[in-house]
Amino acid sequence: MPVLSSTVSSHQFSKDNIFGLPFDEETAQLIVLPVPWEVTLPHHPGTARSPEHILKVSKRVHVNLIDEYNGWKRGIAMQSIDKRLLMRSDYLRKEAELYINFLMDGGNLAENSFIQKSLRDVNQGCQEMNTWVYEQTQQLLNKGKNVVVLGGDHSVAWGYIKALSEQEKAFGILQIDAHCDLRETYVGFTHSHGSVMRKVLDQIPQAVHLVQLGARDFIEEEWLYLNEQPDRITTFFYKQIAEMMYRGATWENVCDQIIARLPERVYLSFDIDGLDPKLCRHTARPVPGGFEVEQVFFLLKKLIQSGRKLIGFDLTEIGNGLEELDARVGAHILFRLCNLLLANLYPETS
């Protein structure tokens, strides 16, 4: 059992940085990049503003720094939220809503040039967001920083994974998610929350294996795609895991099977709707079922004990409930993931 960190009574909280930690971008090893974007989730707004809510909650209700890992001592800092990107997201989300409503009402896209333009605008905007995330994370990686992407919807992960792939020969992705996100497009949107992992597999060969955990809402196209690539995709559906445990398997047994499918270096893509909806009530697309927080961290602990390395992660689709539950849960998970990532990459700190 790892020893808990020593007293932190001398820790001086900062009014500017996430978690109140006394670091900035120069002194922190790990940089949290907020990406306020939710264009392809037009009917479920809120995730674009989750980084802002998490930042506020984390400074007002300080996280407990006493933990079995001391990774935070290497420094965690969050970049400022790009208000121009948020405004662009708000505008294009309305365009996407108009487009989807047109399709749902039975409209013929081929006959409506105005709606065609809305689709083009959304796709161009999403591509520009991908480029922005790619460039931001590439710059940080080139400075020797470790990076975390905080969404926003799940599509914001693509640019970071692309930048990371330029520094990694081969890595696996552990995706915790209620959805597979393997659609070629989502209602015509070429880069969306529903197709992010398909884009990764199609365009980033360094991502050698995708292990999906907790999927319980998917379509036939995704089912066919993942079954066509058994050497590159392993999906542990939530129903499958639940039935294993009903028959007597322990969560540790299940974790061992999950970890065995992952290569030495692992990127974590964590959509918050992979959890039980009671923990993320205002996420964009909650689905019955899902995991407890400690199940996830037990899995990650086992992953590290196996000798594998976490190389980065994204945390996305956290909602904005008025009672702050979603933001509090998100802040708690974000800190523990950052702490664990740094302790894993720099074990001399722990």
* Burial class, 294, CB count within 10 angstroms (exposed 0-12 / middle 13-18 / buried 19+): exposed
Q: Which of 41-55, 64-78, 288-302 has the lowest mean pLDDT?
A: 64-78
pLDDT of residue 13: 60
Cis peptide before 125 (omega within 30 of 0): no
Residue type, 17: N
Model pLDDT for residues 253-294, shown as the tens digit of each residue: 999 999 999 999 999 999 999 999 999 999 989 999 999 999
172 has a pLDDT exceeding 80: yes
Q: What is the pTM of this model?
A: 0.94
CA 101 to chain centre: 27
Average pLDDT, integer, range 243-262: 98
Task: At 59, give phi and psi (nearest 5°).
Answer: -85, -30
Average pLDDT, integer, range 26-33: 97
pLDDT confidence of 349, banded at 50, 70, 90?
low
Where is pLDDT greater, at 253 or 63?
A: 253
**Orientation angle between helical segments 113-142 and 157-165, nearest 10 degrees:** 40
Strand boundaries in 30-70, DSSP class E: 30-35
Looking at 3.40.800.10, 3.40.50.2300, 3.90.1150.180, 3.30.530.20, the CATH number of the domain 18-349 comes to 3.40.800.10
Yes or no: say if 235 and 215 are a contact pair by the CB < 8 Å rule. yes
Cα(2)–Cα(4) distance, integer angstroms: 6
- Structural domain boundaries of the chain? 18-349
Torsion of CA 223, 229, 230, 234, to 10 degrees: -60
Counting Cα atoms < 13 Å in the Cβ hemisphere of 245 gives 16
Looking at the chain, the whole-number percentage of residues with pLDDT higher than 90 is: 86
Where is pLDDT greater, at 72 or 125?
A: 125
Cα(85)–Cα(69) distance, integer angstroms: 34
200 has a pLDDT exceeding 80: yes
Average pLDDT, integer, range 193-221: 97
